[in-house]
Structure 1
Amino acid sequence: MATETNDLGPLPKRITGGCLCGKITYEIKFPENHNFAESSGTCQCTQCRKSTSSLFFMYHRVPYSSLTWTSPSLSTHLKNYYCSEGRARGFCGDCGTFLYWRREAGPNISVAIGTVDPLYLFGEGHEATNGEVPKEGFGKALAYGGGGHEWVKNEIKGVTDDLKIVGAGKDGRGERVLTE
């Protein structure tokens, strides 16, 4: 059952997600002490822009041990691309969906928010969950953006430098070095 918090709304105990073609799927079971506010963030580095085809990469970081790949033929479809040594960008080799960024020597994985199933992200189909998922889903808890902004030196003046979710405005902005 979801629990309420003041700022983030209901918090999930678990979520599922996967790629566009459905050949790669996962489940995340959140640790009891998971800090949802500090685990979501964005990155505006050129590598993230290119691999996501978006102005910024929105992620939710979890311990890798919390993620279970549920695809029967994962090794056939999951591919990794290495822009930087020891840092994997995971994607589906069939449909091309970007799934995660991961420092292979670290304990965490940054899962692409867009790969979370609609039920958990915005509540599509919540009626069938017997209260496990609220009407609005868990999008705010998963995509709050309060965990930092990995790289803002590449902000686009007049476009991404003004978006609250990527650290603009009175909330401030700043480059954060990724620590795992």
Structure 2
Amino acid sequence: MIKGSCLCGAVTYVARGTPGAPAACHCNQCRKQSGHVWASSYVDDGALEIAGEVRWFKSSDKARRGFCPTCGSALFWDHEDDPFICFSTGSIDGPTGLRLRGHIHTADKGDYYAISAEEPQRET
């Protein structure tokens, strides 16, 4: 079980079960939402209990992003075709016990940083 929250504490969550290893996403939407790179883990649908008000933004035809309307913390990513929901690795309270599995959408990464060649990467 993992617990997390937004910056102001108005939104909290509990992720039950074993979360999937997080990935760092470098797509344009994730960079704009997070201000740099979005890192998230995931649990099966129904395994994430959210308390507090979450505002959802429909970021594409099939995906939405959840954030705290008070402090603006980006917390969740949910794609209607996936059997899981993602939560921000940076919003986890305390040690995570998780290890980054790699980088995705690196074809869209910003030009102001580098990713080590030794780290797993996927362009899309």
* TM-score (normalised: structure 2): 0.86
Match of 2:123 in 1: 175
Match of 1:44 in 2: 26
- The sequence identity of aligned pairs, in percent, is 27
> What per-residue deviation string (whole Å, max 9, x for no partner) do you get for residues 57-88 of structure 1?
1111211221111x2xx3xx211111211201
Match of 1:145 in 2: 100
Change over 3 Å in CA distance of 1:174–1:150 after alignment to 2: closer
> Does residue 160 of structure 1 match 2:108?
no
Match of 1:61 in 2: 42
Q: Which has the larger radius of gyration?
A: 1
More strand by share: 2
Change over 3 Å in CA distance of 1:116–1:171 after alignment to 2: closer
* Structure 1 counterpart SS, 2:90: helix
Change over 3 Å in CA distance of 1:158–1:93 after alignment to 2: closer
Change over 3 Å in CA distance of 1:91–1:28 after alignment to 2: same
Q: For structure 1, list consecutive stretches of 5 or more residues without a partner in the other structure.
A: 1-13, 122-137, 163-168
Match of 1:82 in 2: 58
CA contact 2:19–2:43 (8 Å) conserved in 1: no
Q: Whole-Å Cα distance in 2 between the matches of residues 175 and 90 of structure 1?
A: 25
User: For residue 48 of structure 1, what is the amino acid of its counterpart?
Assistant: C
Q: Whole-Å Cα distance in 2 between the matches of residues 105 and 172 of structure 1?
A: 25
* Structure 1 counterpart SS, 2:67: strand
Match of 1:11 in 2: none
* Structure 2 counterpart SS, 1:114: helix
Structure 1 runs, 4 residues or longer, greater than 6 Å off = none
Query: 1:104 Cα shift?
Result: 2.6
* Structure 2 counterpart SS, 1:58: strand
* TM-score (normalised: structure 1): 0.62
Query: 1:101 Cα shift?
Result: 0.9
Q: How many residues align?
A: 124
The CA RMSD measured in Å over matched residues stands at 2.0
Identify the structure with bigger relative contact order (alpha carbons < 8 Å, sequence gap 6+). Answer: 2
